[in-house]
Amino acid sequence: MHRSGTSCLTGSLQEAGLHMGVIHTWNPHNLKGNRENQQIVDINDRVLAFAGAAWDKPPAADIDWPQGEMESARELFASYADLSPFGFKDPRTLLTLAGWRQLFPHLQYIGIFRHPLAVAQSLANRSGMPIDQGLELWYEYNRRLLRQYREAAFPLLSFDDEQSLFQNKLQQVLGAMGFDATRWQGEFFDENLRSAHRENEGVVPWKVRRLYRKLQRLAA
């Protein structure tokens, strides 16, 4: 889900040796950048638009990709063939994952989640999204994250962990995924860049709280 520590996680993977092509390294809402490859984001946006959906209007079911977007993705990744290991980050991928899995059936995943109210508050701070809409969006993204995890488990981190605990867990995950964890010094993480904290938990719907507890139990 957006605003859930995905940029911190991806920046840390990059520090450990992950290649990502040309990515965003700064924007007004994320001073270290969202670490997203705009060409991949554009593909996801076009796939969503083809289905009458968007990042903040998730489709009800898996999306069939237009053939043209499948070809665009193949051509883009062919240009990265010499970069290994190569990866990408875009929260929209949870909404378009069926096509990516068809293109690249051996994708390796790593997931991260954050308390729903902290995410909703961050979205409200960034773009004025109402809290209840942010909570529902959190639910739609993270139920897909949980579904994918249940199909085949992968490393799952909580961005709510205290900094040193988060970094210790991430270092273990990096080693388990085949990265040279000794190359990673944890320099990307900056506690001061967390843009929201959870308050007034009473506004969180029961289904959202239950999903958050499920993810907590599964996290590294």
Q: Identify which of 176, 158, 165 has the alpha carbon closest to the alpha carbon of residue 212.
A: 158
Cα dihedral: 185, 154, 5, 174 (round 10): 10
Give the position of tokens 């507890």: 213
CB 137 within 8 A of CB 56: yes
Range 88-100 average pLDDT: 96
pLDDT at 77 over 60: yes
pLDDT in tens, 25-36: 655 455 466 789
Q: Higher-confidence residue: 77 or 22?
A: 77
Name the band, by pLDDT with cuts 50, 70 and 90, for residue 220. confident
Range 110-135 average pLDDT: 95
Q: What mean pLDDT is reported for the chain?
A: 90
15-to-6, 49, 86 alpha-carbon distances in Å: 14, 33, 13
Q: Identify which of 55, 65, 61, 77 has the alpha carbon closest to the alpha carbon of residue 1.
A: 55
Beta-bridge mates of residue 19: 86
Q: In the prediction, which pLDDT does 27 show? A: 53
Give the helix/strand (H/E) hosting 158. strand 156-158
Q: In the prediction, which pLDDT does 184 show? A: 73
pLDDT at 197 over 70: no
Q: CA gyration radius for the chain? A: 17
Percent of the chain with pLDDT over 70: 89
Q: Which of 32-46, 110-124, 169-183 has the highest mean pLDDT?
A: 110-124
Token pair, residue 41, equals 């984001």
Percent of the chain with pLDDT over 90: 73
Q: In the prediction, which pLDDT does 31 show? A: 46
Say how far apart CA 210 and CA 217 lie, in whole Å. Answer: 11
pLDDT at 58 over 60: yes
pLDDT in tens, 200-215: 677 899 999 999 999 9
What are the φ/ψ torsions at residue 19 (nearest 5 degrees)?
Answer: -90, 145
pLDDT at 191 over 80: no
